[in-house]
Amino acid sequence: MKIISAFVLFGFVLAAGYADTPAPGLKASSTELPVRALMLYGLPPSGLEPFLDFVRHDLPREGVNHLIFQIDYGYEYKTHPELVAKNAYTHAQIKSLVTVCRDAGIKLIPLVNCLGHQSWAKTNHQLLTVYPEFDETAGLYPENEGLYCRSYCPNHPDVHRVIFDLLGEITDVFETDAVHVGMDEVFLIGEATCPRCRGKDKAELFAQEVRTLRDFLATKKARLWMWGDRFIDGEVTGLGKWEGSKNQTSRAIDLVPRDIVICDWHYDSAPPTPGYFAVKGFEVIICSYNQPHVAVEEAEQIFNLRRTNRDNAMGPRLLGVMSTNWGKSAEFAQSVRQAKSSGVTEEKSPTANFLHLFEKVRQLTAAQDSKPPR
């Protein structure tokens, strides 16, 4: 990634000062989607070796050019060894992933959940286990009964000292110019029980954290990627409180810099939200999970919006598509291979989603390539 002042790159016009550059070796054409991503969650280091083979051979064959790799506390951080999770990746293991992705023409983007998702079920993750004082609801919800996931308090005076160390170290070890900071499904924010946040505007609190992380990553020459749900009004859209927000954060869309990249996830339908983000000035990627027909409709939407808006500033902001996997990622890679060789996939599964999505992307790209220029 480069911060550029000239705005024309690979045939599309950029609205902001950042450009999403391809990994070395990737050929970009004007009809190809700039971002064709796979997002993986929970690949244990023991599954890395076979996964590297999947990256080398299977991802390029499908046309994938971005890999979003959720790492969180699963790396042997030198800046904060006290926060390292069990079964963490070593420096050498991440370097092997970096090298294989680079050789395969795949841009590697680490994901570290910030603000929300600091616990799962009864287990608090490392940050709030080691530093319980950072908890937005410190001392409340014993055994996490009655909450979805804990958040850290964005106004705790010491929290960013730690978060910046983690993000800085992960940016370096992944040799990346983009970091995904999660920030989805943040339900605990501006809580009445937090002495620092009570009574504050939740949209402003959320936006403040986005700006804080974005500004730090800019010092590392890395661009901030994040999930988009807190920017969508879950009431007005009817999308609800998960893929939209019902906790007063949606106005934050007008309070954050437009050079962040929005990962707009919708797993059950293909709403027109990518267009909404593009109208607001953001580059956006639509994200699917386990319903192939939804993934295909989302790909069609992105291609249509790019085509019908090619002469204005919005079309090029529709960067592309992402297939997400929220199960075990080693098994996912294996099942993609099996499905590819047998030609059979379950109707509703991340594997089917992934294969159908990228098949559709290849078809739509080829159809566009075969059209005569205007």
Per CB under 5 A, residues contacting Zn ion are 136, 153, 155, 194, 196-197
Direct distance between the N- and C-terminal alpha carbons of the chain, in angstroms, rounded to an integer? 31
| C-alpha R_g of the chain | 20
CB of 160 to Zn ion, least distance (A): 13
Q: Among residues 36 and 125, whose Cβ is nearest to Zn ion?
A: 125
CB of 175 to Zn ion, least distance (A): 34
CB of 207 to Zn ion, least distance (A): 15
- Could you tell me whether strands 123-124 and 119-120 are parallel, antiparallel, or unpaired per DSSP bridges? antiparallel
The rounded distance, in Å, linking the Cα atoms of 362 and 41 is: 25
Q: How far is CA 64 from CA 61, 104, 107, 238, 355, in A?
A: 8, 10, 9, 32, 11
Q: Among residues 178 and 197, whose Cβ is nearest to Zn ion?
A: 197
The rounded distance, in Å, linking the Cα atoms of 209 and 79 is: 22
Q: Among residues 135 and 283, whose Cβ is nearest to Zn ion?
A: 135
Q: Among residues 30 and 193, whose Cβ is nearest to Zn ion?
A: 193
CB of 197 to Zn ion, least distance (A): 3
CB of 246 to Zn ion, least distance (A): 20
Q: Among residues 129 and 155, whose Cβ is nearest to Zn ion?
A: 155
Q: Among residues 198 and 348, whose Cβ is nearest to Zn ion?
A: 198
Q: Which residues contact 129 (CB under 8 A, 6 or more apart)?
A: none
Burial 118-143 (b: 16+ CB within 10 A, else e): bbeeeebbbbbbebeebbbbbeeeee
Residue 4 Cα to chain centre, angstroms: 23
Q: Among residues 199 and 343, whose Cβ is nearest to Zn ion?
A: 199
Secondary structure element (H or E) that encloses residue 288, with its range: strand 283-288
Note the helical H segments in 29-158: 48-53, 59-62, 91-103, 126-130
- Size of the chain in residues: 374
CB of 249 to Zn ion, least distance (A): 14
CB of 196 to Zn ion, least distance (A): 4
